[in-house]
Amino acid sequence: MSWEMVIGLEIHVELQTESKVFCSCRAVFGAEPNTHVCPVCMGLPGALPVFNERVLHYAAKAGFALNGSVHHRSRFDRKNYFYPDLPKAYQISQFYQPICENGWLTVQTSVGEKKIGITRIHIEEDAGKLLHDEKNGTLLDMNRCGVPLIEIVSEPDIRSAEEAVAYLRKVRAILTYIGVSDCKMNEGSLRCDVNLSIHHPNEPFGVRTEMKNLNSFQSVERAIKAEYERQVAVLECGEEIVQETRRYDQKTGKTYSMRRKENSADYRYFPDPDLPEVVLTDEQMDEIRAEIPTLPDMRREAYMKNYSLSAYAAEQLTSERWLADYFEQAAGHAKSATSVANLLQGEVFAILSARAADAEKNGAPTPEGAVSLPISPENLAKLSDLLVEGRVNSSTGKKILSVMFVGDCDPEEYARRHALFAVSDDSTLRVAIEQTLGQNPDMAESYRRGKTTVERALMGKAMAATKGKADPERLSELLHKALESLTK
């Protein structure tokens, strides 16, 4: 019987507030180490936290956008544990009364739509960062101490790596649409912990392990596959899975045991005596709800209806707000929105992912959060029209697109200047065909004798004779006629 994986995700998202959650230090990424710190976020004795209201606002907004019940009253608890990057030896979090519970979202995967439950969303503070340096040993940067986070805990509803990535992408899409976080995985503003167990369907869940701080979609996917295979191997050998935290190593593609998993009792949670309960009034809730823009699912449905796109295509185009905005602008200028969608999802995504792969190879972080294309929507629409009208063929279209990526240019102008328009007038095409048949008499003879498979090779040669610019459909029609006439 096959083993089914059962996955729950815990996603930590840094909120894009000006200042930290319990002090007025600035919450910025990439500053000189230890320049945005004060007695509160360094955990000095006697310092008192003051809650940043903006954090409540953003967390509630995320709660509404993720279909959750946002509570009027929530409060903070201390989660006690020692770690070198946590100077207070406790983290301020929400355990007993989180800001939000019972949310959900839907994802589209290759097997269709699925609803995934969200158990809770709570507010907490981030820890500092340990920098491991060969020369100086381990250094501590406390700039990140006290940066506001929300933790989004899913139900164990996820059953495959594809679903996990789709869920993560959807959470990221929604949070960037509502503007509460930039969700840059390569800068750590969105991090994911994966809880995974395996079982036989309809039997109780197995013992789960946790993999912490995965920081790219790819590592989430690979870590899930590696841990699933490990657990299957362990159980098939008759051994037992141990509840523990494991580390996924990108280099070996395997997971390694780090420590036995703590239970919540180990953290000795108790209400933080320094922080009062936080309250959201009905009026505040209405204001926050009113700020929520059209979310990806609504745009997806509109695209399916207005542009006849498939659910999967529409999901991809709405996965990022900038991309959806871009698509809508380009589609507004183009004769065919479907052609713009195809161009974006085909050639444009291919170029973007090739660039990302190059960046990864060169050790640069994967640009997970690309926020724009170097091509104006108007020019992409023009290229789409040239393709739709058959004025350039698809291989020429690809060439022009790669030029546009380097320096945004008017594709029509470029095609004119470089004589790239598709050749579709019959007399020119016939000349190319006669030339081809004249230069390849053996192949023409083979065709005449019934070996019709040479037609494809001749088509390639005739296309080359037009320098790749022929309208392929018309060229193929005329070539076929010319070959058939040989057999008569």
Residue numbers at the binding site for Zn ion (CB under 5 A): 23, 25, 38, 40-41
Kindly state the smallest distance separating residue 146's Cβ from Zn ion, in Å. 6
Angstrom distance (rounded) from CA 85 to CA 145: 8
Nearer to Zn ion, 40 or 422 (CB): 40
Kindly state the smallest distance separating residue 40's Cβ from Zn ion, in Å. 5
Nearer to Zn ion, 15 or 23 (CB): 23
Number of residues in the chain: 488
Nearer to Zn ion, 25 or 65 (CB): 25
Kindly state the smallest distance separating residue 127's Cβ from Zn ion, in Å. 13
Nearer to Zn ion, 125 or 163 (CB): 125
Kindly state the smallest distance separating residue 379's Cβ from Zn ion, in Å. 46
Surface-to-core class of residue 339, CB atoms within 10 Å of its CB (0-12 exposed, 13-18 middle, 19+ buried): buried
321 Cβ contact partners less than 8 Å away, ≥ 6 residues apart: 173, 176, 177
Cα dihedral 146, 149, 153, 159 sign: negative
Kindly state the smallest distance separating residue 38's Cβ from Zn ion, in Å. 3
Nearer to Zn ion, 38 or 302 (CB): 38
Could you give the residue ranges of the DSSP H alpha helices within 334-376?
A: 337-343, 349-361
The one-letter code for the residue type at 272 is: D
Angstrom distance (rounded) from CA 404 to CA 297: 31
Nearer to Zn ion, 40 or 415 (CB): 40
Angstrom distance (rounded) from CA 318 to CA 336: 18
Kindly state the smallest distance separating residue 37's Cβ from Zn ion, in Å. 6
Nearer to Zn ion, 15 or 152 (CB): 15
Kindly state the smallest distance separating residue 39's Cβ from Zn ion, in Å. 7
Nearer to Zn ion, 52 or 393 (CB): 52
Nearer to Zn ion, 49 or 472 (CB): 49
Angstrom distance (rounded) from CA 434 to CA 417: 28
Angstrom distance (rounded) from CA 300 to CA 311: 7
The one-letter code for the residue type at 485 is: S
Surface-to-core class of residue 402, CB atoms within 10 Å of its CB (0-12 exposed, 13-18 middle, 19+ buried): exposed
Kindly state the smallest distance separating residue 55's Cβ from Zn ion, in Å. 14
To the nearest 5 percent, what fractions of the chain are helix, strand and coil? 40, 20, 35
Nearer to Zn ion, 37 or 278 (CB): 37
Picking from 295, 377, 294, 393, the residue whose alpha carbon sits closest to that of residue 337 is 377
Q: Are 387 and 400 in contact (CB under 8 A)?
A: no
Picking from 157, 152, 154, 155, the residue whose alpha carbon sits closest to that of residue 181 is 152
Beta bridge mates, 95? none
Kindly state the smallest distance separating residue 33's Cβ from Zn ion, in Å. 14
Angstrom distance (rounded) from CA 281 to CA 56: 12
